[in-house]
Amino acid sequence: MSIDVEQFHSVFFDESEEHLQAMEDLLMTIDVDAPDMEELNSIFRAAHSIKGGSGIFGFDQLTGLTHIMETLLDKARNQAIQLNSAIVDLFLETVDILKATLNAYREQQPLPEAEIAAGISQLEATLSALDAAPPAFDKLEDEDCEEDAGFGFFDDLPDANAVIEAGINNSDTDDLFGDLAFGSESQDAAPETASDGAAEDDGFGFFDEIPAPVAVKEEKEEEAFGFFEDLPEPPVAPAVNVTPIKSAAKKPAATKTNSSQSKESGSIRVDTAKIDGMVNLVGELVITQSMLSMIGRDIEGQSGEMLQAAIDELQRNTREIQESVMSMRMLPVNMTFNRFPRVVRDLSQKLGKQVRLVIEGGGTEIDKSLIEKLVDPLTHLVRNSIDHGIESPHIRTEAGKPESGTVVLSAQQKGSSIIISISDDGAGLDRERIMDKAVQNGLPVSLDMPDSEVWQLIFQPGFSTAAEVTDVSGRGVGMDVVRRNIESIGGRIEIESTLGQGSSFSIHLPLTLAIVDGMCVTVGEQIFVMPLLNIIESFQPKAEQIQTIGNDSVLWIRDEYWPLVPLHQMMQVDDAILAPTESIIVLLESGKHRFGVQVDALMGQQQVVIKSLEKHYKKVAGVAGATIMGDGKVALIIDVDSMAQSCQLNIKHEVCA
């Protein structure tokens, strides 16, 4: 009987990815001078888990690299070596290599063997260099102090690994020890169990009574026979330092255990396809429910009333089911944001700038599919902010600003949309330079364009005003891609900027891709849905507001001429109201265009489930998708951007006119 190991691979990959991310996050925040023991332990455990898993599945390259990393980490958390930023950098690089290797294994692509080998040799070099110069060990400290120190430092499972390092090198034992130690961790309330061999490790960290050291010392002596031979003696910090370290190690340990327990029991891994299937089914349920309520309205008498009450109940329940199912797809934006401390750190080092990254609203939840698609555009914008926005320290000082710049990455929910913004207190966009560049590129510009239109110019392909091209940015590919990416997920991007004070890019995104808040409008016998996000206002126009230019009409409102698109013409509906004054105008706005759309009447606001037209048919110009109305009929959802594009020629004429 053979067990199909492959089925566990994806779990291993997912978990290892999480471990690597956790390692990176912790490494980013670690204080090299006074590292938090619990953090070091967490990093160590993450590396250890990856090593164990990769060993089981035979991903030897991962095992090799994590093994040596683990050795180094082990020394660090035993304070056998003093951390410094070079080592942390090395760890971060190793994490990068591990990520690449993991991906290579996952995609079954050639492994980055050269990088792995380089990584290993670098780690080994560091290891041997550090071994050659062990930190000075001060024997003069008195007994009590040494005990206390041991106490604070030996708080996890170093011994278990020390055994392995000492040469037993049996991976089963390793895992066993690891598991035992992990298991014992959760019983942190009972340090007395320290008499148990494995739990003893933890015990050290958790004791807080002064009498305890005696017991511990005994334990230690017992255990020390086999385990402590190779372990370098813990460097003894002056007595004053011991207490803070001890308490610091204690507190996070307790909270950590709680959170890891609740995490284990509180979440399960579910295939996204299953959730998507459920989202679809619930969408169907919502449709069926609204069909029922339409039928219910026609029934009169007492049973009609009862039916109506039952349908109302059903409506409430379906709405709640829908909300909870939708929330299953939601993840905190932090999933995207948490990579940026690293990006900012690397980039600011490379460019010799001082940048502080502030993250706000990381807990805001957003659809999983959006999270994945946000990574590239956000990375681009953050890099831009640092490269072009934030000035070098001496320029900043001259301008009377603090030496280090600040980049704020924030997310917030406003109604049914999420706004993610990247702001910096750097130089801001330079109107003159953008205009010059636009003229150079032959773009139609006029000197009295409002700022907001000038800023939009940077989204033109091939547009870069960076004085010099760096390897970070400035090649002028990018901002157009950023906008395209954002628009492809139904969002839009806005810029605010003040020269010398900084700029802010805000991305407006729908909460989810599957449901849109829409305004239902009728044209002839057909119903169309317009995304509420794009609607500015709607009104019945007066005759003097409408002017005709050739065959096209324009609308005078808000002190501006707006192009007017009759929806019945665009969508080829026959029996619509033709005269604009007898119909309703809906003012729409997309990233690039603003225009009015003429419809027969407004039906009301409704949340609709977006269905793909492409699945069984193909993309239709001006249409984002379709939805199923309460009566089971199909209504098309207007895609404001693509609609603007398909009548762009007209619009341009009209704007010029």
Partner 1 sequence: MSDSTLQQSPVASNEKEFLSFVLGKEHYALDITTVKEIRGYEAATKIANAPAFIKGVLNLRGDIVPIVDLRLKFNVGEATYNQFTIVIMLHVHERIVGVVVDGVSDVVRLTDEQILPPPEFGVAFDSQYLHGLSEVDDTMVILVNIEKLITSDALALVDNSQSMSLAG
The residue written with tokens 């929806």 in the block is 567
Task: Based on the shown chain and the rule CB under 8 A, indicate whether residue 620 belongs to the binding site for partner 1.
Answer: yes
Amino acid at position 366, single letter: I
Pick 560 or 614: Cβ nearer partner 1: 614
Q: Please, which residues have CB within 8 angstroms of residue 401's CB and are 6 or more apart in sequence?
A: 391, 425
- Minimum distance between the CB of residue 283 and partner 1, rounded to whole angstroms? 7
Task: Based on the shown chain and the rule CB under 8 A, indicate whether residue 286 belongs to the binding site for partner 1.
Answer: no
Task: Based on the shown chain and the rule CB under 8 A, indicate whether residue 509 belongs to the binding site for partner 1.
Answer: no
Contacting range for partner 1; rule: CB under 8 A; set: 143-151, 161-169, 219-227, 610-618: 610-618
Please answer whether residues 212 and 221 qualify as being in contact, where contact means their C-beta atoms are separated by less than 8 angstroms. Answer: no
3-state DSSP call for residue 219? helix
Task: Based on the shown chain and the rule CB under 8 A, indicate whether residue 321 belongs to the binding site for partner 1.
Answer: no
Q: CA dist 564 to 426, 582, 624, 648, Å?
A: 40, 14, 20, 12
Measured distance CA(551)–CA(545) in Å, rounded:
16
CA count, 13 A, side-chain hemisphere, 43:
27
Give the other-Cβ count within 10 Å of 444's Cβ: 10
Contacting range for partner 1; rule: CB under 8 A; set: 46-54, 118-126, 151-159, 570-578: 570-578
Tell me the residue ranges of DSSP E strands in 551-622. 552-557, 560-566, 584-589, 594-599, 601-609
Q: Please, which residues have CB within 8 angstroms of residue 40's CB and are 6 or more apart in sequence?
A: 30, 73, 76, 77
- Minimum distance between the CB of residue 292 and partner 1, rounded to whole angstroms? 15
Measured distance CA(289)–CA(297) in Å, rounded:
13
Task: Based on the shown chain and the rule CB under 8 A, indicate whether residue 283 belongs to the binding site for partner 1.
Answer: yes
Task: Based on the shown chain and the rule CB under 8 A, indicate whether residue 628 belongs to the binding site for partner 1.
Answer: yes
Measured distance CA(454)–CA(321) in Å, rounded:
45
- Minimum distance between the CB of residue 640 and partner 1, rounded to whole angstroms? 11
Measured distance CA(79)–CA(73) in Å, rounded:
9
- Minimum distance between the CB of residue 204 and partner 1, rounded to whole angstroms? 55
Q: Exactly one of 419, 438, 636, 644 binds partner 1 (CB under 8 A); which one?
A: 636
Please answer whether residues 624 and 635 qualify as being in contact, where contact means their C-beta atoms are separated by less than 8 angstroms. Answer: no
Pick 194 or 571: Cβ nearer partner 1: 571
Please answer whether residues 376 and 485 qualify as being in contact, where contact means their C-beta atoms are separated by less than 8 angstroms. Answer: yes
492: enclosing H helix or E strand: strand 492-498
Which residues in 393-412 are b (16+ Cβ under 10 Å) and which e?
A: beebeeeebeeebbbbbbbe
Contacting range for partner 1; rule: CB under 8 A; set: 181-189, 208-216, 379-387, 611-619: 611-619
Site pattern 520..559 for partner 1 (x: CB under 8 A): ------x---------------------------------
Contacting range for partner 1; rule: CB under 8 A; set: 162-170, 529-537, 539-547, 568-576: 568-576
What is 134-159 written as a DSSP string? PPP--TTS-HHHHHHHHHHH--SSHH
Measured distance CA(244)–CA(237) in Å, rounded:
11
Q: Exactly one of 452, 621, 648, 652 binds partner 1 (CB under 8 A); which one?
A: 621
Site pattern 431..470 for partner 1 (x: CB under 8 A): ----------------------------------------
Pick 407 or 571: Cβ nearer partner 1: 571
- Applying CB under 8 A, the site for partner 1 has a residue count of 36
Provide the β-strand partners of residue 494.
Answer: 506
Q: Exactly one of 411, 529, 635, 651 binds partner 1 (CB under 8 A); which one?
A: 635
Q: Exactly one of 145, 347, 626, 651 binds partner 1 (CB under 8 A); which one?
A: 626
Task: Based on the shown chain and the rule CB under 8 A, indicate whether residue 616 belongs to the binding site for partner 1.
Answer: yes
Contacting range for partner 1; rule: CB under 8 A; set: 63-71, 451-459, 549-557, 613-621: 613-621
Site pattern 571..600 for partner 1 (x: CB under 8 A): xxx---------------------------
Task: Based on the shown chain and the rule CB under 8 A, indicate whether residue 618 belongs to the binding site for partner 1.
Answer: yes
Task: Based on the shown chain and the rule CB under 8 A, indicate whether residue 239 belongs to the binding site for partner 1.
Answer: no
- Minimum distance between the CB of residue 529 and partner 1, rounded to whole angstroms? 12
Angle 6-29/340-351 helices, nearest 10 degrees?
50
3-state DSSP call for residue 486? helix
- Minimum distance between the CB of residue 611 and partner 1, rounded to whole angstroms? 5
Backbone angles phi, psi at 136, to 5 degrees: -60, 140
Measured distance CA(657)–CA(645) in Å, rounded:
18
Pick 38 or 641: Cβ nearer partner 1: 641
Please answer whether residues 230 and 181 qualify as being in contact, where contact means their C-beta atoms are separated by less than 8 angstroms. Answer: no
End-to-end Cα separation, the chain, in angstroms: 79
Pick 342 or 611: Cβ nearer partner 1: 611
Task: Based on the shown chain and the rule CB under 8 A, indicate whether residue 613 belongs to the binding site for partner 1.
Answer: yes
Q: Exactly one of 247, 547, 612, 648 binds partner 1 (CB under 8 A); which one?
A: 612
3-state DSSP call for residue 107? helix
20: enclosing H helix or E strand: helix 6-29
Pick 283 or 428: Cβ nearer partner 1: 283
Q: Exactly one of 216, 624, 640, 644 binds partner 1 (CB under 8 A); which one?
A: 624
Pick 349 or 572: Cβ nearer partner 1: 572
Pick 189 or 621: Cβ nearer partner 1: 621
Task: Based on the shown chain and the rule CB under 8 A, indicate whether residue 622 belongs to the binding site for partner 1.
Answer: yes
Nearest to 422 by CA among 503, 339, 511: 503
Task: Based on the shown chain and the rule CB under 8 A, indicate whether residue 639 belongs to the binding site for partner 1.
Answer: yes
- Minimum distance between the CB of residue 631 and partner 1, rounded to whole angstroms? 10
Measured distance CA(348)–CA(342) in Å, rounded:
10
Task: Based on the shown chain and the rule CB under 8 A, indicate whether residue 488 belongs to the binding site for partner 1.
Answer: yes
Task: Based on the shown chain and the rule CB under 8 A, indicate whether residue 418 belongs to the binding site for partner 1.
Answer: no
Binding site for partner 1 (CB under 8 A): 280, 283-284, 287, 487-490, 526, 570-573, 611-626, 628, 632-636, 639
